[in-house]
Structure formats: C-alpha cells, structure tokens
Amino acid sequence: MNMHAPRPIPHYHEIAQECALFETAHSQGLPLLLKGPTGCGKTRFVEHMAARLDRPLYTVACHDDLSAADLIGRYLLKGGDTHWVDGPLTRAVREGGICYLDEVVEARKDVTVVLHPLTDNRRTLMIDRTGEELVAPPGFMLVASYNPGYQNVLKRLKPSTRQRFLSASFDFPDPQSECAIVAKESGLDVSKVQPLVRLAGHIRALSGMDLEEGVSTRLLIYTASLIHRGMPIEPALEAAIIEPLTDEEDIKQALRDLIATIY
Ligand code: ADP
C-alpha cells in the first residue's frame, strides 16, 4: 500500500501542446531547451511536468559565477573529515529526476563541458573529483531555459550546445489564456483582469522601443493580487507595473498616459 500522500500538481495552463512535447522528450531521454522572456511561465511549466511525471525536480538559477562544481558537488570539511556532497545535477542523475537549469547562458563555460556528455546518447555524468562516471537512468531529464531577449554576443549558447536539445519557444500567453491564468493565480474576477491584460498588450507593443522588455504575466498576477486584496487600481499599477518596468521618469509618464486610455 502506498502511504505517501499524492504530490500536488502545480496549476499550469497549456498554451501550445508543450505538455506532450515534454512528456515525449522525457520518455525518450532527450533534453529540452525552453526559450522565452522572463515571467512567461517556463518555471511553472517544468514544476507542473515534474509533478505530473512524479519525478524529483532540482532547479538551479544560473548566474555568472555558477561553476561545474556547483552543479556536480564538492568535498566539504566537517569535523576534521572531508566528505563528498552531491550537487543538484548529480542528485538528479542518481535519482532519475529532472534538473532544470534556469538561464543556462549565464553559467560559466565549464558547465557546458559537463552538459555535453549528458545531453547526447552517452547520457553520462563524469565526476572527476571522485572518479565516478554515472550513467543517467531513464527518468533523468535535463531542462534548460534562456531568454533570447537578454542575449549579447558574449553570452550566446553555442550551436554545439543548442543542437543537443529539443527546443520550444515560450511567449506571453494569448489574451484569453492570460486572463484565465491571472484570474486563477490572483483570485481577481476575470472581468477585472481583462483591462489589465489589454494594458499588457499595449505595453508589450512598446517593448524594444522604450522598454527593454514587456510586462510579464508574473507582474500582472502581482497587480491583480494587490487589487484583489483591496488596493485601489492606481497604486497597484504603480507598484506592480510602472516601477518594476523602468527607472526613467519620462517612460513612467508614458506608461501612466497609456493606463489613462484604459482606466
Ligand atoms: P519564468 O520561469 O518564465 O520566468 P514563471 O514560470 O515563474 O516564469 O511564471 C511566473 C508566474 O506566472 C508563475 O508563478 C505563474 O503564477 C504564472 N504563469 C505564467 N504562465 C502560466 C501558465 N501557462 N499557467 C499557469 N501559471 C502561469
């Protein structure tokens, strides 16, 4: 008899049959790269799929100091003894879990060297420090994400790395899906979410011109949550949309003008 309570599956509103792609990639042992702007649902998607497939999930937010040792593990000193501690990638491989490397282009170059033998048919992880060579069991899957909008020439995923992954592009959901997502996540009534999503459409049309990036679904959920908890619309928009998007006074004013055409 299974005494474990069933693991809750985080809510995810599917946009374009990405769940079937993930499932197939997982069953075939293929790695998956998710491309798209921040706050559009990539992390939630991976959390949802890991729970659905009942696999442990190890998420690593990559940064420019993240090295292969941070992923693989290291010897730690404890009470005069050194002992080996697995990093999140090693744990995912041992347990047949899913390892999600968020913003993988940020990581140091030595990380790529580790990923290559894991993402081709060898599916092996070399742990140089212990001399171990782990072959990933069938449940293991590597998922990585990156935001093409942030890319610069120095931080680009090399074709030799990119071409080891199946890839899927994520973007902000269509308005109807986004209304459903924001309403569900914030608790705010759909009728009050609709103008927010319309505003997001206008703001996203400005991105690239005055704004580095359009407003994310995440920020819309923040705004809707503030309104749902009783904050008037104007300060909610100021705190959850205008201020997070820009530091420039003239752009803030342009956003307020845009808001005035909707509210
Ligand atoms: P990313 O990883 O792309 O930066 P997240 O997955 O953290 O973005 O998404 C931000 C938030 O937006 C999530 O916490 C979730 O509340 C919501 N969200 C975005 N897209 C979806 C979706 N398709 N279904 C359910 N929630 C979503």
Mean pLDDT of 237-262: 94
Tell me the two tokens of residue 21.
């792609």
**Ligand 1 — pocket residues by CB below 6 A?**
11-13, 15, 38-44, 173, 181, 185, 217-218, 221
Which protein residue's CA is at the shortest distance from atom 25 of ligand 1? 12
Three-state DSSP class for 84?
strand
ipTM for the complex shown: 0.99
Does this model's pTM top 0.90? yes
Distance CA 28, CA 20 (A): 12
Mean pLDDT of 73-84: 90
Which protein residue's CA is at the shortest distance from atom 6 of ligand 1? 41
pLDDT of 154 over the 60 cut = no
Do the beta carbons of residue 246 and residue 255 sit within 8 Å?
yes
- Average pLDDT, rounded, for the chain: 92
DSSP annotation of 137 reads P
pLDDT of 2 over the 60 cut = no
Task: List all residues 6 or more positions away from 88 whose beta carbon is below 8 Å from its beta carbon.
Answer: 58, 59, 60, 71, 99
Distance 131 CA to ligand 1 centre (A): 39
Distance CA 10, CA 90 (A): 25
Three-state DSSP class for 147?
coil
Distance 46 CA to ligand 1 centre (A): 10
Distance 44 CA to ligand 1 centre (A): 5
Distance CA 31, CA 141 (A): 6
Categorize the per-residue pLDDT at 1 as very low, low, confident or very high, splitting at 50, 70 and 90: very low
Distance 40 CA to ligand 1 centre (A): 5
For the CA of 36, the closest atom of ligand 1 is 3
pLDDT of 128 over the 60 cut = yes
Distance 126 CA to ligand 1 centre (A): 33
Q: Which residue shows structure tokens 């798209």?
A: 36
Q: Report pLDDT for 24.
A: 98
Categorize the per-residue pLDDT at 152 as very low, low, confident or very high, splitting at 50, 70 and 90: low
Please state, for a pLDDT cut of 90, what percent of the chain lies above it.
78
When mean pLDDT is compared across 15-19, 132-136, 204-208, 242-246, the lowest value belongs to 204-208
Say which residue, 106 or 181, is predicted with more confidence.
Answer: 181
Mean pLDDT of 156-184: 92
Task: List all residues 6 or more positions away from 145 whose beta carbon is below 8 Å from its beta carbon.
Answer: 33, 34, 35, 36, 42, 43, 100, 101, 102, 103, 104
Mean pLDDT of 136-149: 93
pLDDT tens track for 191-222: 999 999 999 999 998 876 677 788 999 999 99
Say which residue, 158 or 45, is predicted with more confidence.
Answer: 45
